[in-house]
Chain A
């Protein structure tokens, strides 16, 4: 459909348990060491994701897609997608 969905999350605004879950997912994905290069291959109809983590001291961005996402990143992707769906459906 060509829809672009954006979600901004400030961990300080989340309940403590949700913030802890997200921090754990980011840590377990080894996010800071994931490749930050733009995606080269454009596969038709796949979802493409741009995830930025900003700590205030530094910022790291990962570009990925459904088929190229590292396995370690998928739990974080699922969590963020679920939050996006909840946000969409709640209006």
Chain B
């Protein structure tokens, strides 16, 4: 019984499209993401993130902190969860990590054909219909009504980092200034934790981001720079319209 549910959580819409699951499967994912919002939001004074480091971190927060450190190291400091003059904010990592765990919950409940889209970050499993991959459009950086490419994906994840929705909200940790050089960068990987963290760090890196992301293990890239040039991995599973 196909289910398609959309809810507004963590400040963005999340849609859960299950082709072989039931409503309770979708509800469990939303319950988990609501819990994540309460525990990891930097905007709630009683959240684990707001109380860190004065309160001992939970295992989940430890996992997020380790991911933050890992991507800070890999990007040479361009990605940073702690910027000077700002409170600790691991949101960029938390989103992909939390949605990936939601996907894992679906798999453990024997849901094999699904697509979860959390505010533009996508994780998929199986096929929407027999023999067809999930067709994941990459949004055109200038026009929300159009796409620039379509990826054909079965089990995998696609994350995009860009400034066209929320303005200059990604900072280059090396300079402390808003990142520049790219209009958008999309990363395809086997899991959303990797795809989302890599896309965010690549956007922070600016012009060097696409090549850096392509060099990360298991990552394929589709980037648009501020001169409207597209740079993509040759192996990216682009399907024609």
Does A pair with B? no
